[in-house]
Chain A
Amino acid sequence: MQPAVKRIIFYVLLFALWEGAVYVFEVSPALLPAPSDVFVSLYEGFSNRTLIYDLGASFRRLFLGLAIALLLGVLLGVLLAKSKTADETLGSLILALQSVPSIVWLPLAIMWFGLNETAVIFIVVLGATIVMTINIRTGIINVPPLFIKAAKTMNYRGLRLFTKVTMPASIPYAVTGLRLAWAFAWRALMAGELLSAGPGLGYSLRFASDFGDMARVIAIMILIMLIGIIVDLLFFQRVERKVLRKWGLATD
């Protein structure tokens, strides 16, 4: 049987079981709504456009935050790869910060920027910048020395060597960095919105929860999951696989 078929059967069974359990045990919708209620809520959200509005607001922040993070990440990554001193000092700080989930910066961010968008974007930027920096640095450090040697015998040096060889050679790492930056940013954004101001998906989720509308809560959770999967699977993993194959790094 094809994996896709197995998967469809699995999800149909899962939802049927869930639906059945809710009816058989008469679970209160405040604890766990039936999947049919969740889908109705999802449909309503789209037809009255509130969810579309939330999506727009979340994505606006996400892209703004990601754009800043990518720019910073590339600059910092190049700095760490090229300067030994920067790598030994700033590099250690960045590695240390990597183990801190960016959401824990929210209280400070709220003090600095207020309970608003800027604080959320700050969290997004922080989370994504760190992974991007680390991947760009690794990518540049791992450029095969043979490429550099070959280019030198062809009279490439300095800035031209960097832009024509070092940068393209490190693209596989940059793509991985981008994928991780997106994943970190998406998680940071949801956490940030949940704990701070709206509009946005995370904010609407908390709003629904405050009113005991669990069907809406789960509807938004599913939406968050779907977006994460779609972007990662349909976009990043494809691009990554293509790049890895072209750069001769794929294992297959």
Chain B
Amino acid sequence: MFLTINNLNKSFINKGSSELVLSNINLDVREGEFVSILGPSGCGKSTLLSIVAGLTSASEGNIELSGTPIKGPGKERGMVFQQAALFPWLTVLENVMFPLLPVMSKKEAAEKAKHYLQMVQLGSYTNHSPHEISGGMQQRVAIARALAMDPALLLMDEPFGALDEQTRSRLHEILENIFIETKKTILFVTHSIAESLKLSDRIVVMGTQPGTILDIIELDFPRPRSQSKEELLSYEEKIQALLKSEIDKVTEKEQKHAASR
């Protein structure tokens, strides 16, 4: 197995008391698979991704990538955040070159960076500053930057969450093409059911308080998914039903909390 997450637990210490955020997470991801993580806000999706990225440590359990335990960040894992996180003091091209500079010459890095910028259709924006391009373009630069390291595993935390519907659906196409072309393994966090149905081979549906895996749904449909709209509808309803009980749970807890004050 490519990525294995075994009996993972994560607690945060909040004001002296420990709060369980992720409970008993088990997940295996095959190489070349597109896996979405879907769940209500606060269920620990970002935390899970951050643990796989090596930015946060797990409280219990182990995570292995190709048989090697994950202990910290590594160049075989690239990450795209919800905000583009581009460095404003660098140009678009320099941002994409950033992960490459420690390991190759400037010239090679520039060539490679240009290649990835073309892949996200931004080949003519190399000399712009991040603040001179739109949010959707910034996010594409962030994707190019993550791809430039040629990571085996690409981690994406709601990368299109802040974008409008049209831009988002264009980026879905670009991402799907990149996925098919580069054969990367992608772990993709989202709270949009439509997005996950459009893009993933499997959907991990998470519940909250504490974050657990409710169900893992296989989507064995050819790409692009627009051909299988009808079949996907039944999946959408199934996921909606799963998430509804979770959201009810949160609402109920909030109301109890409000009543007890």
A-side residues, CB < 8 A to B, are 146-147, 149-156, 160, 164-165, 168-169, 171, 245-248
Known: A146-B83, A156-B102. A248 touches B55 (CB 8 A): no
Partner of B55, one of A147, A152, A165, A247: A152
Contact A149 B55 (CB under 8 A): yes
Contact, CB under 8 Å: A153 / B77: yes
Chain B 62-89, CB-CB to A under 8 Å as 1, else 0, gives: 0000000000011101110101010111
Cβ-defined partner of A155 (8 Å) among B55, B73, B87: B73
Q: In the bound complex, how far is the Cα of B79 from the Cα of A164, in angstroms?
A: 19
19 pairs, CB–CB < 8 Å, chain A vs chain B: A146-B81, A146-B83, A147-B85, A150-B81, A152-B54, A152-B73, A153-B53, A153-B55, A153-B78, A153-B79, A154-B78, A154-B149, A155-B102, A155-B149, A156-B102, A160-B102, A245-B131, A247-B88, A248-B131
Q: Does B11 contact A (CB under 8 A)?
A: no
> How far is A160 from B102 in the complex, measured between Cα atoms in Å?
9
Flag if A246 contacts B99 (CB, 8 Å): no
Further 15 A-B residue pairs, CB within 8 A, beyond A154-B145, A245-B131, A246-B89: A146-B85, A147-B87, A149-B79, A150-B85, A152-B55, A153-B73, A153-B78, A153-B79, A153-B146, A154-B149, A155-B73, A155-B102, A155-B149, A156-B102, A248-B130
User: Which A-chain residue is minimally distant from B149 (CB atoms)?
Assistant: A154
Q: Find A149's partner among B74, B81, B98 (CB 8 Å cutoff).
A: B81
Contacts of B6 in A (CB 8 A): none
Q: Which 10 A-B pairs have the closest CB atoms?
A: A154-B99, A150-B85, A153-B79, A168-B89, A247-B88, A152-B73, A146-B85, A155-B75, A248-B131, A153-B73
> Does B129 interact with chain A (Cβ within 8 Å)?
yes
A150 CA / B53 CA spacing, docked (Å): 10
A153 CB contacts on chain B under 8 angstroms: 53-55, 73, 77-79, 146, 155
Complex Cα–Cα for A19 and B86 (A): 58
Residues of A within 8 A of B102 (CB): 155-156, 160
Q: How large is the interface on B (under 10, 10 to 19, 20 to 34, 35 or more residues)?
A: 20 to 34
Of A154, A245, A247, the contact of B98 (CB 8 Å cutoff): A154
> Which residues of A lie under 8 Å from residue B53 when comparing CB positions?
153
CB–CB A168/B87 < 8 A: yes
Give A150 to B98 CA distance when docked, in angstroms.
11
- Dominant SS among interface residues on chain B: loop
CA distance A146 to B53 in the complex (A): 13
Q: Which of A146, A153, A245 counts the most chain B CB atoms within 10 A?
A: A153
Contact B87 A169 (CB under 8 A): yes
In whole angstroms, what is the CA distance A231 to B77 when docked? 48
Q: Which residues of A contact B149 (CB under 8 A)?
A: 154-155
Chain A residues closer than 8 Å to B50, beta-carbon distance: 149
Nearest Cβ on chain A to B95's Cβ, whole angstroms: 10
Residue of B nearest to A245 (CB): B131
Question: Are B79 and A150 interface neighbours, CB within 8 A?
Answer: yes
* A40 → B minimal CB distance (Å): 50
A169 to B75, CA, bound (A): 23
**Quick one: CB contact mask for B94-106 with A, threshold 8 Å, 1 for yes?**
0000110010000
> A243: shortest Cβ distance to chain B, in Å?
9
CA distance A153 to B73 in the complex (A): 5
Known A146-B83, A155-B99: A246·B75 in contact at CB below 8 Å = no
Q: How far is the CA of A146 from the CA of B80 in the complex (A)?
A: 11
**Interface contact A246-B98, CB-CB below 8 Å:** no
Q: How far is the CA of A164 from the CA of B98 in the complex (A)?
A: 9
Most buried by B among A151, A155, A156: A155
Query: Which B residues lie within 8 Å of A155 (CB)?
Result: 73-75, 99, 102, 149
With contacts A146-B81, A156-B102 taken as known, whether A246 is within 8 angstroms of B88 at the C-beta atoms is yes
Instruction: Give the chain A neighbours of B73 by CB distance below 8 A.
Output: 152-153, 155
A160 to B101, CA, bound (A): 11
Q: Bound complex: CA of A150 vs CA of B74, how far in Å?
A: 12
Contact call B87/A246, Cβ cutoff below 8 A: no
Chain B residues in 8 Å Cβ range of A152: 54-55, 73
Kindly report which residue of chain A lies nearest to residue B142, judged by CB atoms. A150
Q: Which residues of chain A are near B55, meaning CB under 8 Å?
A: 149, 152-153
Collect the chain B residues with CB atoms within 8 Å of residue A160's CB.
102
